[in-house]
């Protein structure tokens, strides 16, 4: 009887281990669909080593990033309660190292180049202005613990364009997020161009508070006033940029 019980337990354990090792990558795609805006499309391989198209959802449609993303998860680290992974994509000059643990996410420093059209997935006002240009993203070693960010993130929107404006390019802009303690500081600046965007704010406890102003160089104001009106509440020749979540 004991021998039979041992055989049954051994068979169950073998099934569990086999299922875990061969768990399909589509399980990751299903999990992500229920936990945020990121989506994995056409997932292949396993949870531990796979690839997929990656996209961003605005709740109605998914905007795909060109190229496939691939990942490898270290099996040894799982036993210690920490999941480590390497993520590769054509937009990344080197694989991105990510570590997940209870209440903690760490990301090694890196950079990426992406199309500005992806901003549409953020919703208003980007889904209206239909942006063009390129995004240059850089970040330091970052740590997110209990929702608090430690580290820095910089996003440059270069040669910005909009389907609503004949003026091209509109300019180039830099958004910087610097986290320390329980509050991250946000700063938006115009690097160059006739459309001027400026603002600042904070991210605390997962909530964003941002205020800014959109304006235009005097000689370009007639050509840009329509776009400025879409960006925020008009006050004279300017628009108030505001985001509260």
In this structure, are 29 and 43 located in the same domain?
yes
- Total domains in the fold of the chain: 2
In this structure, are 28 and 43 located in the same domain?
yes
In this structure, are 150 and 48 located in the same domain?
no
In this structure, are 87 and 164 located in the same domain?
no
In this structure, are 241 and 196 located in the same domain?
yes
The DSSP string of the chain is -HHHHHHHHHHHHHHHHHHHHT-BTHHHHHHHHTSSSEEEEEEEEBSSEEEEEEEEE-SS-EEEEEEEEEEEE-HHHHTTT-EEEEEE-TT-SSPEEEEEETTEEEE--EEEEEEGGGGGGG-TTHHHH-EEEEEEEEE-SEEEETTEEEEEEEEEEEEEEETT-S-S--EEEEEEEEEETTEEEEEEEEEESSEEEEEEEEEETTEEEEEEEEEE-GGGHHHHHHHHHHHSEEETTEEEEEEE-
Asked, for residue 30, whether it belongs to a domain, the answer is yes
Instruction: List Cβ<8 Å contacts ≥24 apart for 95-102.
Output: none
Asked, for residue 37, whether it belongs to a domain, the answer is yes
Asked, for residue 10, whether it belongs to a domain, the answer is no
Asked, for residue 5, whether it belongs to a domain, the answer is no
State which of 40, 71, 97 marks the end of a domain: 97
State which of 55, 78, 97 marks the end of a domain: 97
In this structure, are 83 and 35 located in the same domain?
yes
Asked, for residue 15, whether it belongs to a domain, the answer is no
> Which pLDDT score is estimated for 15?
36
> Which pLDDT score is estimated for 46?
83
In this structure, are 149 and 207 located in the same domain?
yes
Query: Along the 245 residues of the chain, how does pLDDT read in single tens digits?
Result: 544 444 334 444 333 343 344 456 666 666 666 667 778 888 888 888 888 888 887 777 787 888 898 988 876 656 667 788 899 999 999 999 988 888 888 999 999 999 998 888 778 888 889 999 999 999 999 998 887 888 999 999 999 999 999 999 999 999 999 987 788 999 999 999 999 999 999 988 778 899 999 999 999 999 999 999 999 999 999 999 998 87
In this structure, are 47 and 136 located in the same domain?
no
Asked, for residue 18, whether it belongs to a domain, the answer is no
> Which pLDDT score is estimated for 79?
61
In this structure, are 126 and 186 located in the same domain?
yes
State which of 97, 129, 145 marks the end of a domain: 97
Bridge partners (DSSP) of residue 204 are: 183, 207
Asked, for residue 31, whether it belongs to a domain, the answer is yes
In this structure, are 91 and 197 located in the same domain?
no
For 102-119, write each residue's pLDDT tens digit: 888 899 999 999 999 888
Asked, for residue 16, whether it belongs to a domain, the answer is no
For 30-55, write each residue's pLDDT tens digit: 666 666 777 888 888 888 888 888 88
In this structure, are 222 and 116 located in the same domain?
yes
Question: Structural domain of residue 28, as residue ranges?
Answer: 23-97
> Which pLDDT score is estimated for 149?
85
In this structure, are 93 and 114 located in the same domain?
no
């Amino acid at each position: 009887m004991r021998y039979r019980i041992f055989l049954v337990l051994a068979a169950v354990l073998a099934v569990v281990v086999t299922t875990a090792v061969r768990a399909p990558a589509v399980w990751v795609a299903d999990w992500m669909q229920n936990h945020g805006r990121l989506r994995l499309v056409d997932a292949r391989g396993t949870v531990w080593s796979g690839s997929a198209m990656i996209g961003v959802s605005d709740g109605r449609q998914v905007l795909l990033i060109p190229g496939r993303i691939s990942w490898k998860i270290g099996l040894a680290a799982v036993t210690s309660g920490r999941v480590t992974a390497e993520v590769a994509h054509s937009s990344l000059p080197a694989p991105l190292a990510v570590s997940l643990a209870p209440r903690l996410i760490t990301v090694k420093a890196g950079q990426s180049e992406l199309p500005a059209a992806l901003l549409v997935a953020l919703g208003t006002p980007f889904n209206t202005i239909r942006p063009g240009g390129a995004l240059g993203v850089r970040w330091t070693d970052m740590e997110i613990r209990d929702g608090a960010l430690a580290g820095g993130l910089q996003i440059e929107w270069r040669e910005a364009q909009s389907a609503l404006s004949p003026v091209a390019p509109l300019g180039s802009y830099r958004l910087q997020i610097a986290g320390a303690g329980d509050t991250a500081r946000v700063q938006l600046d115009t690097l160059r161009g006739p459309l001027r965007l400026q603002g600042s704010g904070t991210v605390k406890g997962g909530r964003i508070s941002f205020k800014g102003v959109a304006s235009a160089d005097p000689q370009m104001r007639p050509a840009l006033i329509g776009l400025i009106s879409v960006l925020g509440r008009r006050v004279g020749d300017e628009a108030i940029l505001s985001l509260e979540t």
